[in-house]
Amino acid sequence: MDLDSLFKAPKIPASGMKRKMPANPTPEMLKKMRMDSEASVKDVEMEPLPANGKGKMRATVEDAIDEEDDQSSSFAPGGDADYFIEEDEDGRFFGGGLTSEQKEILAIFDSAGDDALAESGELTITGIRRTLLKFERAVNKNQDHRSKYPDDPTKFIESEADLDSAIKSLLPLAQAPALAYSELVRSDTVVLLVGLLSHENVDIVIDVVEVFHELTDEDVGEEAEDEEEEGEGNGPSLKLLIDALLENSILNLLVGNLKRLNEAEESDRQGVFHILGFFENVIGFNPSLASELVSKTDILPWLLERIQSKKHDESRGYAAELMSILLQDNQANRLELGKRDGILTLLTVVSQYRHRDPVDADELEFMENVFDTLCSVLSESSNKALFVDVEGTELMVLIMQGKLQSRSKSIKALDYAMSGSAGTASCQAFIDSSGLKTLFSAFMGKGTKKQKSTVLLPASEDASHILGIISSLFSNLASDSPERIRLLTKFVENNYEKVDKLLDIRESAQSRLKVTEVEIEALKKELSAEDEESSAGDEDAWYLQRLDGGLFTLQTVDYILAWIAMEDDGIRSHLLQMLNRKNQSLQDIVKTLRIYHNNVNVGEELDSDDAPSQKDILQGLIGALEPRTE
């Protein structure tokens, strides 16, 4: 038997067997196999462009096919991407000698290195620099491809997807601001990011805006608690980043993109949200930037237009909130809004709540922010005159009569509009609009079904503003004028019921103030136990604590009682009788007014050169009551 014939291999390969590579392949054979592999890569799918080939083109990571995935089908032992690169001139190659499983493990570790910033809790300076370098290369590559092939998106869509991914890889840098932000500035990455705000692809712009929002968040770097405890925290790093952004005109560029974004699309709405969020972040970090944002950009006109939208959504609510922040404690911005007919716009927006309540909590917050903005604007004397000119007082009276959720806010707005000597015109308009009837109805607790004969809570916001309006009326209405007589008549009618109501509120305020005094005494004892003396700052803080604890309400009530007791003998007799029942007298009112007088700044209430200051008025009331208190 021929044993060799039994073990001889068949001459014809079985069907379905893969073609084997020769033991010593030539370089030409390897190159041919590689070219065949590259030719099998699928084309990238993308959205069609307009006929002219220009305009906005949306590219996402999903739109492009990763090169590494395409190469995985090419022939190489173990899927080694460097297999062919290791060839020398003679066609020899030096493989790693690794199995496919080993190479797969190495590939996993290699790809994990690219995502280290996103998954690792700790960022290293090396990893940060590698990420920034990758981002810079992606920007340059995309710019190069777009400049070479401006009318052929198939040539730059892949680089756009890489750029999208590179921008998103910067988001984890917010975890280590002390380490990363200096590198962002030093490497000019900030300049590149700001430059991308003018990118043709709006999705790239939205990515950049999201990065800015994340990097400037107030909670940035909270994970690094130990570092914050040892050092100064993230303040210096955040300041360095914000300063670099401001140097590159970030504010103007972002406001310009607000007009560019189309909120009909979800991604664009997110872009608007991130832009407004960035503005809120930087103003929260440095409130002085509110003036720069309003004076150097068109943000205020955009906000005024945005809040007028008939349809309520998240962006509309955020616009109202940001506008309220911009005007809070900022005189220049409040004056600027007045110059731009902003008061009329605000009144137009709040007028819709005269006949209906907000539909949900979000719209309720929106309404409150618009009213708060109106109140901020009315802190300025010139804006109070504009408010009267556009019949704002009349509108607030109408809203107050409606007894809806907007009622409390209208009372607050009237308090701001009528305060100070500049509020005289609003006080006159208030009387002419029959506001007294509605005001005293609310004062007596008749505005809601829940309140009948109960005492209006002195600690409530409504009570404080109602008392403020009454106080302003006595300060601003001319003596012996028909309007002032009508006001005094309100305290006489129904057997002086409104005087009794003032005394009830006064008693409640005194009770609250006693509790506050006990708390302050406890603080003083603590200082004495530590052998420390109270400073001027402590005294100021305690005075503010007393104001919050009932003293402010007490001062306002006693200010009103002093006016009505001085001007009407019938009210004076009733007041003395009611005070005597509680072992008190007008001297107790004078005592309160003296404290009020001693803590009023000389120029604080001067809105007009001709009008007396609040300090002068208080001195006159004290003088009028003292001689007759014996």
On whether residue 10 sits in a domain, the answer given is no
Q: Which residue segment(s) compose the domain that 67 sits in?
A: 17-46+54-114
Highest mean pLDDT among 50-64, 223-237, 399-413 belongs to 399-413
User: Cα–Cα distances in Å, from 442 out to 149, 472, 534, 553?
Assistant: 71, 17, 42, 17
For the segment 345-356, what is each residue's pLDDT rounded down to a tens digit? 999 999 999 999
Among candidate residues 99, 114, 129, the one where a domain is terminated: 114
pLDDT greater than 60 at residue 120: no
Average pLDDT on 272-301 reads 95
On whether residue 357 sits in a domain, the answer given is no
pLDDT greater than 60 at residue 380: yes
- Write out the DSSP string of 40-102: TPPPPP-PPPPTTS-S-----GGGS--HHHHHTTS--GGG-TTTTTT--TTS--------HHH
Average pLDDT on 402-425 reads 94
Average pLDDT on 57-79 reads 44
Average pLDDT on 290-296 reads 95
The pLDDT value given to residue 613 = 85
The pLDDT value given to residue 107 = 56
Confidence grade of residue 232 (pLDDT, cut at 50, 70, 90): low
Give the list of residues 6+ apart from residue 478 with CB closer than 8 angstroms, or none.
484
Average pLDDT on 187-198 reads 94
> Which residue has better confidence, 104 or 468?
468
Judged by DSSP in three states, 531 sits in: coil
The pLDDT value given to residue 43 = 44
Alpha carbon distance 98, 101 (integer Å):
8
Among candidate residues 89, 114, 139, the one where a domain is terminated: 114
The pLDDT value given to residue 102 = 57
Number of domains making up the chain? 2
pLDDT greater than 50 at residue 139: yes
The pLDDT value given to residue 318 = 96
362 class by beta-carbon count within 10 Å (0-12 exposed, 13-18 middle, 19+ buried): middle
Any idea of the CA torsion for 103, 107, 110, 114, to the nearest 10 degrees? 170
Percent of the chain at pLDDT > 90 equals: 61
Q: Which residue do the tokens 């925290």 mark? A: 233
On whether residue 461 sits in a domain, the answer given is no
The pLDDT value given to residue 52 = 42
What is this structure's pTM?
0.76
The pLDDT value given to residue 130 = 94
Among candidate residues 76, 94, 114, the one where a domain is terminated: 114
On whether residue 535 sits in a domain, the answer given is yes
For the segment 476-525, what is each residue's pLDDT rounded down to a tens digit? 999 889 999 999 999 999 999 999 999 999 999 999 999 999 999 988 88
> Which residue has better confidence, 588 or 450?
588
pLDDT greater than 50 at residue 93: no
Answer yes or no: are the C-beta atoms of 95 and 238 closer than 8 Å.
no
Tokens coding 223: 């994970």
Average pLDDT on 459-487 reads 91
Average pLDDT on 375-396 reads 96
Confidence grade of residue 448 (pLDDT, cut at 50, 70, 90): low
Alpha carbon distance 110, 331 (integer Å):
56
Confidence grade of residue 28 (pLDDT, cut at 50, 70, 90): low
On whether residue 207 sits in a domain, the answer given is no
Which three-class secondary structure string do you get for 285-318? HCCCHHHHHHHHCCHHHHHHHHCCCCCCCHHHHH
On whether residue 289 sits in a domain, the answer given is no
**Stretch among 65-69, 178-182, 367-371, 595-599 having the lowest mean pLDDT:** 65-69
On whether residue 21 sits in a domain, the answer given is yes
Confidence grade of residue 546 (pLDDT, cut at 50, 70, 90): very high
Biggest CA–CA distance in the chain, Å, is 147
The pLDDT value given to residue 229 = 46
Confidence grade of residue 225 (pLDDT, cut at 50, 70, 90): very low
Average pLDDT along the chain: 81
The pLDDT value given to residue 89 = 46
On whether residue 325 sits in a domain, the answer given is no
Tokens coding 592: 């309160």
Average pLDDT on 313-317 reads 94
The pLDDT value given to residue 101 = 59
Alpha carbon distance 500, 514 (integer Å):
21
Alpha carbon distance 384, 472 (integer Å):
14
